[in-house]
């Protein structure tokens, strides 16, 4: 399903990483959750070196001003991949399915949206073709 998304500034902590060591992500989550933020949480992947096999910037944040970095999610049409259950294992499985899919990804800004109602969606930047 494709969905329009409006420009949004997200504040949090950012690192440069890749998918070779998933402990980086769990460490980032552990640090971020110490902030006890309210509202939706975003995990943003941007500034890709190439695709999901290369380096990229990773930020976990919210619309609240926390952390030392900001990423602006650009306005646009995104492909939305719904995660069926609200646990991190399901998120990992969803990414594995995405990597195997033939979606026309542009590797611009991708993000996971963790809503306060417990739902999780992955927004993927895709070509408009």
* Domain segments of the chain as ranges: 2-125
Kindly report, residue by residue over 13-69, the tens digit of the pLDDT. 999 999 998 899 999 999 998 988 889 999 999 999 999 999 999 999 999 988 899
Cut 0.95: pTM above it = no
Kindly report, residue by residue over 77-106, the tens digit of the pLDDT. 999 999 988 777 899 899 999 999 999 999
Say if residue 112's pLDDT is above 70: yes
Under 8 Å between Cβ of 87 and 114: no
- Strand order of the sheet with strand 41-46? 2-5, 76-83, 120-125, 109-114, 41-46, 56-62, 8-17, 69-73
pLDDT at 78: 96
Say if residue 74's pLDDT is above 80: yes
pLDDT at 129: 61
Question: Is 2-125 CATH 3.20.80.10?
Answer: yes
């Amino acid at each position: 399903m494709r969905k329009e998304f409006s420009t949004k500034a997200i504040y949090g902590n950012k690192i440069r990483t890749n998918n070779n060591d998933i402990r980086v992500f769990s460490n980032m989550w552990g640090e971020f959750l110490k902030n006890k933020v309210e509202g939706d949480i975003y995990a943003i992947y941007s500034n890709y070196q190439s695709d999901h096999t290369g380096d990229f910037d990773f930020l976990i944040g919210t619309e609240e001003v926390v952390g030392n970095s900001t990423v602006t999610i650009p306005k646009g049409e995104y492909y939305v991949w719904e995660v069926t259950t609200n646990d991190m294992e399901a998120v990992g499985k969803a990414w594995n399915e995405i990597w195997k899919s033939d979606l026309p990804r542009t590797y611009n800004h991708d993000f996971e949206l963790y809503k306060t109602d417990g739902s999780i969606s992955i927004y993927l930047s895709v070509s408009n073709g």
